[in-house]
């Protein structure tokens, strides 16, 4: 029976570990993210909390690449390591530990959207589908050979948050599908062509600023891309006063072209804003983590019809 280690945090790691245990696999132990704090309530499942509940051996080093920790894992002679949302770049010394390999699931159609916030960037760029990729980990960032991929159709009301859980479900399916072949060393393996891919660092597209010079549909995708529980949303400003626009929004058709960012109309519930093409109709906002209705926002910022945002 192959000796397996799981490392990381969040839903993907918990779902796949749960499957391994229920399938009777030989799980040597779990490497939890250093910042996995069970005392902090979060939107995602905690791998550490799952380990404590199931009485599974786990480690929580500041960094898995520390020489003393690598020596500790080396003694266990793991065959396979699965990494899901581990928050450190894994270095060659650790990558070399498992006999068969170390694998990751990335929520993107690799080689596109390597790096950070793949769901955010894909949705902001109006992609019709989201990829979920099982791949080897190499010394690069999400650049290892591809084992398998699946795809999720982006729904009209999907946000980065809703797509995350759809990706978890799809990721578990390709994990379960490929596990037997990985254990036997007969899984598929395709080298990535990085020249046709893309990479994004740990920063938001356009620094979250809404560009009212774009069509309303583009802005809709942008706001949905930046809709994720506990994280900041798409933002704009009025007279240097910043505020966020919260999804859901509506799109309005207009034969008359209004200046981009101009407030066409203010109602009791909605702020109707001009774009390069058609209208954005918003009703929920946030300033300094405080949620505001349209009427409250209008009072706070003293907004009037004809004012220009951005």
Last residue within a domain, chosen from 200, 224, 248:
200
In angstroms, the CA 62 to CA 54 distance is 23
120 and 217: one domain? no
194 and 214: one domain? no
Give me the percent of the chain exceeding a pLDDT of 90.
Answer: 96
Given pLDDT bands bounded at 50, 70 and 90, which one contains residue 41?
confident
Mean pLDDT on 74-98: 97
Task: Number of helices (H) and strands (E) in the chain: give both, helices first.
Answer: 8, 17
What pLDDT, on a 0 to 100 scale, did the predictor assign at position 40? Answer: 86
65: domain CATH number is 3.40.50.170
What pLDDT, on a 0 to 100 scale, did the predictor assign at position 258? Answer: 80
Mean pLDDT on 166-193: 98
Query: Shortest CA distance to 103 belongs to which of 187, 198, 194?
Result: 187
What pLDDT, on a 0 to 100 scale, did the predictor assign at position 206? Answer: 98
41 and 174: one domain? yes
- pLDDT(254) > 90: no
261: domain CATH number is 3.10.25.10
What pLDDT, on a 0 to 100 scale, did the predictor assign at position 162? Answer: 98
- pLDDT(187) > 90: yes
Range of the domain at 258: 206-301
- pLDDT(255) > 80: no
Instruction: State the alpha helices, DSSP H only, in the chain.
Output: 10-22, 47-54, 67-76, 92-95, 118-124, 160-184, 216-225, 294-301
Given pLDDT bands bounded at 50, 70 and 90, which one contains residue 154?
very high
What pLDDT, on a 0 to 100 scale, did the predictor assign at position 256? Answer: 77
**Number of folded domains that form the chain:** 2
Q: What is the mean pLDDT of the chain?
A: 97
Q: Strand, coil or helix: what is 278? A: coil
Task: Give 252's contacts (C-beta < 8 A, 6+ positions apart).
Answer: 216, 272, 278, 279, 280, 281
What pLDDT, on a 0 to 100 scale, did the predictor assign at position 35? Answer: 93
Given pLDDT bands bounded at 50, 70 and 90, which one contains residue 39?
confident
pLDDT tens-digit map of 43-72: 999 999 999 999 999 999 999 999 999 999
Give me the percent of the chain exceeding a pLDDT of 70.
Answer: 100
Per the CB < 8 A criterion, the answer to whether 268 and 294 are in contact is yes
């Amino acid at each position: 029976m192959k000796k397996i280690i799981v490392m990381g945090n969040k839903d993907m790691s918990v779902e796949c570990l749960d499957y391994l245990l229920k399938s009777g696999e030989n799980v040597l132990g779990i490497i939890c993210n250093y910042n996995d704090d069970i005392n902090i309530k979060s939107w995602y499942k905690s791998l550490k909390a799952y380990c404590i509940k199931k009485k599974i051996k786990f480690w929580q080093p500041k960094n898995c690449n520390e020489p003393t920790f690598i020596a500790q894992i080396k003694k266990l002679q793991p065959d396979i390591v699965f990494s899901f949302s581990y928050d450190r770049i894994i270095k060659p010394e650790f990558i070399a530990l498992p006999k068969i390999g170390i694998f990751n699931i990335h929520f993107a159609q690799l080689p596109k959207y390597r790096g950070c916030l793949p769901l955010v960037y894909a949705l902001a760029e109006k992609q019709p589908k989201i990829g979920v990729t099982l791949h080897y980990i190499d010394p690069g960032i999400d650049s290892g050979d591809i084992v398998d991929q699946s795809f999720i159709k982006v729904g009209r009301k999907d946000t980065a948050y809703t797509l995350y859980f759809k990706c978890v479900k799809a990721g578990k399916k390709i994990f379960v599908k490929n596990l037997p072949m990985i254990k036997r060393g007969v899984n598929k393996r395709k080298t990535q062509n990085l020249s046709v891919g893309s990479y994004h660092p740990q920063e938001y597209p356009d620094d979250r600023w809404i560009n009212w010079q774009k069509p309303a549909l583009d802005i809709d995708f942008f706001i949905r891309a930046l809709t994720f529980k506990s994280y900041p949303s798409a933002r704009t400003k009025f007279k240097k006063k910043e505020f966020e626009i919260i999804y859901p929004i509506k799109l309005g058709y207009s034969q008359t072209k209004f200046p981009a960012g101009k407030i066409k109309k203010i109602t009791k519930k909605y702020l109707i804003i001009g774009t390069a093409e058609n209208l954005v109709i918003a009703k929920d906002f946030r300033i300094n983590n405080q949620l505001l209705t349209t009427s409250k926002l209008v009072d706070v910022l003293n907004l009037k019809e004809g004012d220009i945002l951005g």
